[in-house]
């Protein structure tokens, strides 16, 4: 079985989507949830009897994450707000993925998270936005793309409306990418 560890920082709604998908798909299973702070998302792990740990946010966080996830086939950053660095990125090369709420490489990098991304997209006057599932490497939002999803935003009046539209496609994109990787498929996809 393809074993997945999920890293979270908040409410865990993306974790819940992954857990629901794993029940339906059976090509992968979540075996561990790690958090970089106390958060309500651990309730989903508890409900499914999945081990979870809260790791203190300090300069050794990346090393402690590596100790926990080294045996996993895939690590999914699901709203994980800390930046992984160093040996974990080398050891887990092409085994850590993240979902970014824009069509990378546009609107990515340090400081580009949450509403900040959608504010930048809104200022750009782009008629489309979307999300990108990508591998995590030493450059923030710089890893190779696995899958992109595109959505029209020309009628969005503000960043919050863009965020809502993009949010509607994010969880499906992430679970699709996990399934592709669990089944040994790795390709770039763009859909409307």
> Which pair of tokens denotes residue 47?
């409900």
| 100 tagged catalytic | yes
Length of the chain in residues, anyone?
Answer: 192
Phi, psi (deg, nearest 5) at residue 15: -55, -45
For residue 88, give the nearest of 79, 75, 101 by alpha carbon. 75
For residue 133, give the nearest of 104, 91, 93, 163 by alpha carbon. 104
The active-site residue out of 59, 100, 116, 122 is: 100
- Give the end-to-end CA distance of the chain in Å, rounded to a whole number: 32
For residue 75, give the nearest of 137, 168, 167 by alpha carbon. 137
Assign 29 to helix, strand or coil.
strand
**Cis omega before residue 105 (within 30°)?**
yes
Which residues are catalytically annotated? 100
């Amino acid at each position: 079985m393809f074993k997945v560890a999920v890293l979270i920082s908040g409410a865990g709604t993306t974790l819940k989507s992954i857990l629901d998908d794993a029940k339906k798909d059976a090509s992968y299973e979540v075996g561990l949830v790690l958090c970089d702070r106390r958060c309500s998302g651990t309730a989903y792990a508890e409900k499914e009897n999945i081990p979870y740990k809260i790791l203190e946010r300090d300069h050794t966080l990346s090393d402690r994450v590596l100790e926990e996830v080294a045996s996993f086939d895939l690590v999914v950053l699901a709203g994980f707000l800390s930046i992984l660095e160093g040996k974990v990125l080398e050891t887990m090369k092409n085994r850590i993925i993240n979902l970014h709420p824009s069509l990378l490489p546009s609107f990515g990098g340090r400081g580009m998270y949450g509403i900040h991304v959608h504010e930048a997209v809104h200022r750009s006057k782009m008629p489309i936005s979307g999300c990108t599932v990508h591998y995590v490497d030493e450059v923030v939002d710089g890893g190779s793309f696995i899958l992109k999803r595109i959505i029209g935003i020309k009628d969005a009046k503000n960043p919050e409306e863009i965020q809502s539209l993009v949010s509607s496609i994010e969880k499906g994109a992430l679970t699709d990418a996990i399934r592709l990787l669990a089944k040994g498929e790795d390709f770039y996809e763009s859909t409307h």
